[in-house]
Copies of this chain bind each other. A is one copy, B any other.
Amino acid sequence: MTQKPDAALTAVFDHIDANRESFLSRVMDYVRYPSISAHDIGIGEVAALLVDMIGQIGLDVELIPTTGHPMVVGRWNKAPGAPTVLLYGHYDVQPPEPLEAWISPPFEPTIRDGRIYARGIGDNKGQHFAQLMALESHMKVHGRLPCNVIVLLEGEEEIGSPRIADFIATYRDRLKADFVVTSDGGMHPSGLPTMTYGVRGIATFELRVRHARRDVHSGNFGGVVPNPIWTLVHLLGTMKNAKGEITIEGLHDAVIPPGALEKAAAARLPLDLPGVMSELGLSRLDAPADRPFYDRLMFHPTLTINGLHGGYGGPGSKTVLPCEAFAKCDIRLIDNQTPADVLAKVEAHVKRHAPEVEFVYGHGMLPSRVPMDTPWAQILRDAITTAQGVAPLEYPSMGGSLPDYVFTKTLGIPAFVVPYANADEANHAPNENMKIDCFYNGIRTGAALLDRLGRPSM
């Protein structure tokens, strides 16, 4: 299964091996700087640090302002005829609170048991720093990169990437690449590398209903005054049936069913179903019962009621007939659904079945899916296998939503997620960490990818 490195890559691997201590010490220096986007702390300093660092490596670099935090963009375009890879990451980190839960302070990187502990080490500084060290290693060993590279580091990922879509659309011409690799998130708990081809999109909405002007007595008015909770119950019952099928007219129209490759890939993924159910305390999976586990997360839209509230919720009973209720919902979208189309269909459904219910638009994000037979997937697969000695697990999609559509739809190029961090990196939590071995494997993987992209077979 292992791909043997060529001589050029072997030399880079040797350089990486020889500089392990230095890379470790430098990444620990990097995460010492806080860059908390939510609190606007340290963003400018870390952006400047990156500009300096990327320039030192030998790339052209610019800091592109937005109406929020700036984008750091590095570029190497001196490999004519070779492909261009866009490496995306983010230099902002989550707030470190609660501080008292950290064993060592979040911005004093500390090594324990083969792991670096620091806020941002896994999410995402350690991961994009590994990419930068891969670039640096190639430059140091060969004086050049084997392919063209764009580095894009965002400073607002942890506050929801509010400006990435506009940025990508605006700078579309300067971000021309053949494909995108995002190294973020965690690998499989077994330690196997993974690559992911897509994400589900999302569309959120709220249903609100009010009947009477005020709450009334259930005896004096029960049977006379309509109950908004019943109105929601009956409306929601028309939107998804007890068999678990979403029954909103037209909602599935745009869904592209999985192809043979995707179905096969999902079926190949390891699954410890009893373990998952036991950890979550579940006695059954959600309806419909007959769907394979990963199909549920990858190939089907969902309609989740995030919350429903109306009337009395305190202890004991209160014989009230409430006057208002609301439900907050999200729909996870499958390529080629769009939030605009899906929300329009939900709104039309609501108007048809319960016109007295107010439909409130929420937010949305497009789904994204890369065909598994794209040649860039094979290159990435080869590079991971060469660098880590084992083939990656391949996820046709993840269940959650990330703005990958800015690459696949706005730029029109494939986008993959290849996490470098360990599964238990504790991102967004106290004691965030990255295994030192994962960090080195990340540098090796980045280096192998650059090498593979420079080989004439491309």
Residues of A at under 8 Å CB distance from B?
Answer: 200, 202, 204, 206, 211-214, 216-227, 229-230, 232-234, 236-237, 240-242, 276, 279-287, 291, 293, 296-297, 300, 302, 304-313, 317-322, 325-328, 330, 332, 356, 362-363, 398-401
Contacts of A233 in B (CB 8 A): 232-233, 236-237, 305, 308
Query: A306 to B318, Cβ gap below 8 A?
Result: yes
Query: A297 to B223, Cβ gap below 8 A?
Result: yes
Contacts of A287 in B (CB 8 A): 226
* Contact with A286, one of B226, B279, B327 (Cβ below 8 angstroms): B226
A331 → chain B, closest Cβ, in Å? 9
Bound CA–CA A313/B310 (angstroms): 10
> What 9 A-B pairs are tightest by C-beta distance, nearest first?
A219-B400, A307-B311, A213-B281, A223-B296, A307-B312, A222-B302, A237-B237, A229-B305, A234-B242
Contacts of A214 in B (CB 8 A): 280-281
Query: A237 to B240, Cβ gap below 8 A?
Result: no
Chain B residue nearest in CB terms to A204: B317
A364 → chain B, closest Cβ, in Å? 11
Bound CA–CA A282/B322 (angstroms): 13
Bound CA–CA A248/B400 (angstroms): 39
Contacts of A276 in B (CB 8 A): 224
Bound CA–CA A213/B312 (angstroms): 24
A201 → chain B, closest Cβ, in Å? 10
Tally of this chain's copies:
2
Query: A330 to B308, Cβ gap below 8 A?
Result: no
Query: B399 to A219, Cβ gap below 8 A?
Result: yes
Evaluate whether A282 and B226 lie within 8 angstroms (CB atoms) in the complex, with A233-B236, A302-B218, A311-B307 already known. Answer: yes
Query: A307 to B313, Cβ gap below 8 A?
Result: yes
Contacts of A307 in B (CB 8 A): 229, 310-313, 318, 320, 322
Bound CA–CA A302/B218 (angstroms): 9
Chain B residue nearest in CB terms to A332: B222
* Contact with A317, one of B222, B330, B398 (Cβ below 8 angstroms): B330
Query: A219 to B281, Cβ gap below 8 A?
Result: no
A48 → chain B, closest Cβ, in Å? 33
Query: A225 to B328, Cβ gap below 8 A?
Result: no
Residue among A213, A276, A309 with the most chain B CB within 10 A?
Answer: A309
Query: B310 to A308, Cβ gap below 8 A?
Result: yes
Evaluate whether A322 and B302 lie within 8 angstroms (CB atoms) in the complex, with A204-B317, A280-B216, A400-B220 already known. Answer: no
Contacts of A311 in B (CB 8 A): 305-308, 328
Bound CA–CA A401/B222 (angstroms): 12
Chain B residue nearest in CB terms to A213: B281
Contacts of A327 in B (CB 8 A): 229
Interchain residue pairs with CB less than 8 A apart (10):
A212-B281, A219-B398, A220-B297, A223-B286, A223-B300, A223-B302, A224-B286, A224-B399, A226-B282, A226-B284
Query: A285 to B224, Cβ gap below 8 A?
Result: yes
Chain B residue nearest in CB terms to A279: B213
Chain B residue nearest in CB terms to A322: B307
Chain B residue nearest in CB terms to A299: B223
Contacts of A227 in B (CB 8 A): 286, 304-305
Query: B320 to A286, Cβ gap below 8 A?
Result: no
Contacts of A297 in B (CB 8 A): 220-224
Chain B residue nearest in CB terms to A237: B237
Contacts of A313 in B (CB 8 A): 307, 309, 326, 328
Chain B residue nearest in CB terms to A242: B234
Evaluate whether A202 and B400 lie within 8 angstroms (CB atoms) in the complex, with A286-B223, A308-B229, A313-B307 already known. Answer: no
Bound CA–CA A359/B328 (angstroms): 25
Contacts of A319 in B (CB 8 A): 202, 204, 304, 306, 330
Query: A219 to B237, Cβ gap below 8 A?
Result: no
Chain B residue nearest in CB terms to A233: B236
Query: B400 to A217, Cβ gap below 8 A?
Result: yes
